[in-house]
Chain A
């Protein structure tokens, strides 16, 4: 069997690894370089703490297990993927926020998430002492997302996959009513199946192949400080984060996620805004992100920011990844829409896609991610504004 994977981001990489290890002949195509899209433009938080009970949390919990189990594969031969199980500390700063946070944690515990209310200052001595509640999530971890992407691709290559960079998918190859490959800037590439894992560009690739898929970009901007002595030990974020992730509002929203990296810099995220593929970095966004971070850690006021960067989260209207076959076009598969959680969810996404494609029993409920699930169905027709 031969499978064409479109996109060499972390999702395409995880799929390529999964399929290649199962003996499938895999070719990964990317119009640019590997790890050159969203997977190199965000952070590498592997979080369960921001997810309520449901299909996405199941996928995240399964992913964490898979992340741990694949570490030996990438251990020796690669720059470190910087996997760290440092745990997340979610902090509320108002009384209402504290009550909501506690209620959310109670729900999460019923779904297998470990969450313990703690004294925030025990965990983060430099935290703003005026916070109203702090919950520690020991399962939260992190990786360096670009290196993790390359590491997954390297494992796939070791199992026979080929990765072709600088090859853009332009249109379908069809045999009867079946998709039999893709036409690319580098010639035709045929395959028994084509998996579109093109991140925020998945909608555009799907359209080129003949179907509508409502994937849109949701902008995020991150600040990087200069290196400093480590004063932030966990991933620390304000409880508003949970609200911003699930929001449908297109306007600017910020919530603070503060973490130290292995290199000694601090990453401060992030904003969420729907404004197309607009790459501009704006002062008002940077200011809003900075202000939120100072609420958590007042000492950061004197710390210098040396860079700002950002990317486009692949967003679908019902906030769930799309993983599985497209019933409208046999031979076409999707693996996208992971929004702000594609790094963590990549491993279980690869596994689930492999399960479905190879006829194995899925380890997570697959229907929730189906292309034609009820909450996505209304969006599968071209919308009038496009």
Chain B
């Protein structure tokens, strides 16, 4: 199979990838932009409240017009990158299947680009709690998608809980489906929130629209008399076939439930989200180094540790759509310039936009990042890995029985993370828990290693057998 060789290949057509491809195209590069989804726009597009009129979008979302325009460029959709073959001194060779994932006639294509921009976004992270596997418990993203695409309410009496500003738009769209939102529960206490958001206020000036966006959602909540409670969490969901009530508790600064503060609240749905995990499998396969938080490490141009490989958007850390756009522009220009030095450079304004938005992202993490006390709400029979039905007790027992300090070994002996989601849902949590039980894993971080970025049918693999040549 002969590889296609664009100047710049952009993987992911969310805000970051759209901005990167557009910037690189304007700089004169031959660009291919692709996305596994059937339509461009990424998470951001999928999760925007549907019924909000475009005029309001324009007010609430800085850069809305630009985003809408970016979506008009040429995108190769239904294009799943399933393997990145590392070369260390240059971008990896990317193997792509093009066609609807459930169809039987996907076409194999191979790309060996001069430079590569990875803009694969992030997964939602949900911390487990007793009862979180009951029907009626949704991730905030799933609830949002249902509310938006299908206009389906996930329930009548809904609690929204977790951490981070993304709880707010979720609550807002639930309200629009006619659900009664009983409250938005933020795990972090007001002290932490205030400390993170009020430090160096001058910095926030330049992302004023961001603060405005959040304030807009808070006003929305107030108008519908939806309480926003800090330092509070759903620590259990109850019911036999589905959720009928939840236990709400106050948390201390480390997210440990405060004894005696629990109360039962009747509810038929819970939407939870505790943040996002960068989707780094392609970057890891390509050889890119990660930061301590698990994002891809980049320099001021978005360049990763691998020559010719750039990263932009939530794959580098969690910061919202504006940051993704700003990072995308810089990475796209840098990638184009590296592929063909005759092109233009990056302006001071474009760089500033990126820096300012990164500071905003750092505040997000400082205000809303997960704290270790949450394990206090787990019970021994709380399921941690849902694909393989591995409980918190199983993990503890596996660590005790083997004495192993290896994630690889413990995953194999407990089966945690070995199922169809390949640890995308539970991986971080499994690692956190095993870290405690073993006194420190010796191979931590392995969760992010997934050589196959997506399922591939054996027939599709075999079809390349005669055509493949070493790249």
Q: Which of B441-471 contact A (CB under 8 A)?
A: 441-443, 450-452, 455-459, 461-465, 468-470
Known pairs A154-B403, A301-B458; A290 contacts B85 (CB<8 A): no
- Report if A225-B458 is in contact (Cβ < 8 Å); known contacts: A34-B402, A36-B409, A306-B452: yes
CB distance from B289 to the nearest CB of A (A): 15
Complex partner residue of B402 from A144, A150, A301, A305, CB under 8 angstroms: A150
Verify B468–A40 contact, CB threshold 8 A: no
Closest to A39 in B: B409
> How does the 8 Å CB contact mask read for A43-67 relative to B, with 1 for contact and 0 for none?
0000000000000000000000000
What per-residue 1/0 map shows which CB atoms of A26-41 lie under 8 Å from chain B?
0000001111100010
Interface residues of B in 414-444 (CB under 8 A from A): 414-415, 418-420, 422, 441-443
B residues in contact with A173, CB < 8 Å? none
B105 to chain A, nearest CB (A): 12
User: Given A35-B406, A36-B442, are A306 and B422 also a contact pair (CB < 8 Å)?
Assistant: yes
The chain A residue with its CB closest to the CB of B87 is A280
- Report Cα–Cα, A303/B420, bound state, in Å: 13
Q: Which residue of B414, B441, B452 contacts A33 across the interface (Cβ within 8 Å)?
A: B441
Determine whether the beta carbon of A146 is less than 8 Å from that of B452.
Answer: no
**B interface residues, tally (CB under 8 Å):** 46
Contact code string B263-299 (vs A, CB < 8 Å = 1, else 0): 0000000000000000000000100000000000000
Residue of chain B at shortest CB distance from A284: B468
> Please, which residues of chain B bring their CB within 8 A of the CB of A281?
83, 85, 285, 451
- The answer to whether B461 and A290 touch across the interface, beta carbons within 8 angstroms, is yes
In the bound complex, residues from chain A placing their C-beta under 8 Å from that of B469 are 284
> Does A213 sit at the interface, judged by CB under 8 A?
no
Query: Quick check: B443 and A33 within 8 Å, CB to CB?
Result: yes
Contacts of A225 on B, CB cut-off 8 Å?
A: 458
Given known contacts A302-B457, A304-B457, is B452 in contact with A34 (CB within 8 Å)?
A: no
Closest to B459 in A: A301
**Residues of A145-160 whose CB lies within 8 A of B:** 146-147, 149-150, 153-154, 157
What residues on B are CB-neighbors of A309 within 8 Å? 451
Asked if A307 and B443 sit within 8 Å, CB to CB, the answer is no
With A and B bound together, what is the CA distance between A227 and B418 in angstroms?
11
Contact indicator A305/B420 (Cβ below 8 Å): no
- A103-B326 Cα distance, complex, nearest whole Å: 69
B346 to chain A, nearest CB (A): 32
Residues of chain A contacted by B461 (CB below 8 angstroms):
223, 283, 286-287, 289-291, 305
B408 near A36 with CB under 8 A, answer yes
Are A33 and B420 within 8 A (Cβ)? no
User: What is the distance, in angstroms, from A285's C-beta to the closest C-beta of chain B?
Assistant: 9
| Residues in chain A near residue B450, CB distance under 8 A | 307
| B85 and A280 form a contact (CB under 8 A) | yes
Contact residues in A for B61 (Cβ distance below 8 Å): none
Interface residue A386 (Cβ < 8 Å from any Cβ of B): no
Chain A, 245-296, CB within 8 A of any chain B CB: 263, 268, 280-284, 286-291, 293-294
Kindly state whether residue B46 has any CB partner on chain A within 8 Å.
Answer: no
By CB atoms of chain A within 10 A, which of B93, B464, B465 has the most?
B465
Most buried by B among A77, A225, A308: A308
B90 adjacent to chain A (CB < 8 Å): no
Hey, which chain A residues are within 8 Å of B402, CB to CB? Answer: 34-35, 150, 153-154
A79 lies within 8 A of chain B by Cβ: yes
Q: Which residue of B lies closest to A263 (CB)?
A: B415
Tell me which of B83, B404, B458, B463 contacts A293 (CB under 8 A). Answer: B458
B441 and A283 contacting across the interface, CB-CB below 8 Å: no
B412 within 8 Å of A (CB atoms): yes
Please tell me if the beta carbons of A303 and B443 are within 8 angstroms of each other in the complex: no
Chain B CB within 8 A of A382 CB: no
A300 proximal to B (CB < 8 A): yes
- B130 at the A/B interface (Cβ < 8 Å)? no
Tell me whether B442 and A166 are in contact (CB under 8 A). yes
A309 to B452: give the CA distance in the assembly, Å: 9
Chain A CB within 10 A, most for which of B404, B412, B455 = B404
Contact indicator B401/A294 (Cβ below 8 Å) = no
Chain B residues within an 8 Å CB radius of A307: 422, 450-452
Give per-residue flags for B80-97: 1 if the beta carbon is below 8 A from chain A beta carbons, else 0. 000101100000010100
CA gap between A227 and B406 in the complex, in Å: 25
A165 touches B406 (CB 8 A): yes
Cβ–Cβ < 8 Å partners of B93 in chain A:
283
Question: Nearest 6 CB-CB pairs, A to B?
Answer: A33-B406, A301-B459, A284-B468, A290-B461, A291-B465, A146-B412
- 7 CB < 8 A contacts A-B: A33-B405, A79-B398, A79-B401, A163-B403, A283-B464, A288-B465, A291-B462
Interface residues of A, Cβ cutoff 8 Å to B = 32-36, 40, 77-79, 144, 146-147, 149-150, 153-154, 157, 163, 165-166, 223, 225-227, 263, 268, 280-284, 286-291, 293-294, 300-309
Chain B residues within CB distance 8 Å of chain A = 83, 85-86, 93, 95, 104, 110, 285, 388, 398, 401-409, 412-415, 418-420, 422, 441-443, 450-452, 455-459, 461-465, 468-470
